Structure 1
Amino acid sequence: MKFKITHVTTYLFDSEVFLEPHYLRFRPCQTSYVDVSDFITTIHPQPVGHKIVQDEDNNVVEFCWFEGMTTQLTIRAESVLQTKSYNPFNFLIYPQSFNTLPFQYNDLQKKLLFSALEQLPISKGLIDYALSILKRSNFNTISYLTNLIKHLHDDFSVEYRAEGAPFMPEETFQLKRGSCRDLSWMLIGILRQQGIAARFASGYYYFDMIAPAYELHAWVDVYLPGTGWFDLDPSHGIFTGNTHFPLASSAHYQHTMPVSGGIRGSANSKLNTQLIIKKL
């Protein structure tokens, strides 16, 4: 399948500001199941400098800097993607000890995965909720991950929230609802508490809609030896497929934001976004 993605982000300021350097994360990742055949960004005001860099998490990021004053910043990112057939269950966990929880990464893996293992504060209630699912899964790693995301999908309501950081895991657990990023951050808290390396992923998710209204989506990367990093979508209760298009992943959600940067000035701002995903 072939897709065209158009993502327009506009910041409107009520008085003139100076734009500090910005990092942009709109370029879809090249994966084993997605070829990025075309990508272009159009930025207004036009930057005086622009460079493609890799950030601390090896995400491909556009770094740009500006001159002069402005009352808006508009970023239009256009991508053309070609997907391949993909079976998310085509893997072999090795060593076999990782098929059963709890498991232990070796010392080198712990060092390399350190940030993705950093525990978040979660309550006993949330720990017990996950533990009950683990027991019913007979402590089998893949059965547990499959059942866990299904329960999160069934037990929590998904709601749209345009702005703001993810809620802490306990807040989402108590509310029994949250945005895709809230559910993903809660899942990360659960997995890290159980010694499983997990990262926050941001990107696009295409599925057929009668009246298309796409938004930036969030899910979770999990690391298992032999399998590598693979993805879980708690909002939909599934392992991700070839219509999940990642933009960035990091142990810290701040490093997956599509736009990172500051301004000089005292203006208030308004954010407008438009995301169109078309199957060609």
Structure 2
Amino acid sequence: MKFKITHTTIYTFDSDVFLEPHYLRFRPKQTPYVSVDCHALTIVFEPIGHKQVLDEENNMVDFCWFEGMTNQLTITATTVLETKEYNPFDFLIYPLQFNQLPLQYDALQKKLLFGTLEGQMISQELLDYGNAILKASDFNTIAFLTQLTKQLHDDFIVEYREVGSPLQPDETFVIKRGSCRDLSWMQINLLRQFGIAARFVSGYYYFDMISPSYELHAWVEVFLPGIGWLGLDPSHGIFTGNTHFAIASSATFENTMPVSGGIRGSATSQLRTQLSIEKFI
């Protein structure tokens, strides 16, 4: 199948501002089951410099710098993708001890995965929630990841919130509701308590709907030897498939923001976004 993704982001300022250099993350990643046929980025107010760079965590980023004053910045990313058949359960965990929790990465793995293992403190109530699922899964790694992801979908209400950082894990747990990024950040910090390397992913997710209305999506990836990075989507209670299109992944959510950059000036801003995903057989 082929997909065309058109993502427009518009910042409007109530007076002229100077744009500092910006990092833009809109380019989907190439994978063995997702091929990026073409990707185009249109920027108005036009930058005087534009370079594609790899960031610290191997994400492809468009780095732009500007000259002059403006009261609007419009970024339109257009991507055409082609997907192949994909079975998220076609894997073998190796070494075999990683089939049981808690995990014990070796010394080199711990160094390379350090940021994705560094969890923040969470409440005993949230930890007890995870431990109950762990025991019910008989400490089996895949059974635990499967059941935890499904349980988060069943126990929490998913709601849309356009802007703002993810809520703290304990806050999401208490109110039993949150955006995709809230649920993902909570799951990441819970997984790290069990020694599982987990990172935050930002991207797009296509699924058939009667009245299409798509938004930027967030999910989780965990590292298991033999598999590599395995995607979990707590908002939908599933492992990710070939219609999850990752853009950026990071140990911290800040490094996955679609637009990072500042302005010089005293203006206030308004943000508008539009996202369409079209499927072609």
Shorter-chain TM-score range: over 0.9
Q: Using the alignment, how far apart are the partners of 2:193 and 2:32 within structure 1?
A: 30
Letter of the 1:240 partner, please give it. Answer: T
Post-superposition shift, 1:230? 1.1
1:16 aligns with 2:22: no
- Aligned residue for 1:70? 70
1:82 aligns with 2:82: yes
- Aligned residue for 1:162? 162
- Aligned residue for 1:99? 99
Q: Using the alignment, how far apart are the partners of 1:187 and 1:231 within structure 2?
A: 12
Q: Using the alignment, how far apart are the partners of 1:120 and 1:6 within structure 2?
A: 36
Letter of the 2:177 partner, please give it. Answer: R
* CA shift digits 1:89-147 (9 cap, x unpaired): 11100000000011200000000000000011210000000000000000000000000
What's the TM-score once normalised by structure 1's chain length? 1.00
Q: Using the alignment, how far apart are the partners of 1:12 and 1:63 within structure 2?
A: 20
- Aligned residue for 2:41? 41
- Aligned residue for 1:109? 109
Q: Using the alignment, how far apart are the partners of 2:114 and 2:203 within structure 1?
A: 23
Sequence identity (%):
70
Letter of the 2:73 partner, please give it. Answer: L
Q: Using the alignment, how far apart are the partners of 1:140 and 1:25 within structure 2?
A: 36
List gaps (5 residues or longer) in structure 1: none
Letter of the 1:253 partner, please give it. Answer: F
Count how many residue pairs are aligned between Structure 1 and Structure 2.
280
Aligned residue for 1:149, secondary structure, equals helix
- Aligned residue for 2:239? 239
CA RMSD of aligned residues (A): 0.4
Aligned residue for 2:18, secondary structure, equals strand
Q: Using the alignment, how far apart are the partners of 2:115 and 2:133 within structure 1?
A: 25
Letter of the 2:3 partner, please give it. Answer: F
List gaps (5 residues or longer) in structure 2: none
Post-superposition shift, 1:211? 0.6
Q: Where in structure 2 are the equivalents of 1:206-245 lying within 5 Å?
A: 206-245=206-245
Post-superposition shift, 1:213? 0.5
* CA shift digits 1:188-213 (9 cap, x unpaired): 01000110000000000000111111
Letter of the 1:251 partner, please give it. Answer: A
What's the TM-score once normalised by structure 2's chain length? 0.99
Q: Using the alignment, how far apart are the partners of 2:121 and 2:77 within structure 1?
A: 36
Letter of the 2:98 partner, please give it. Answer: F
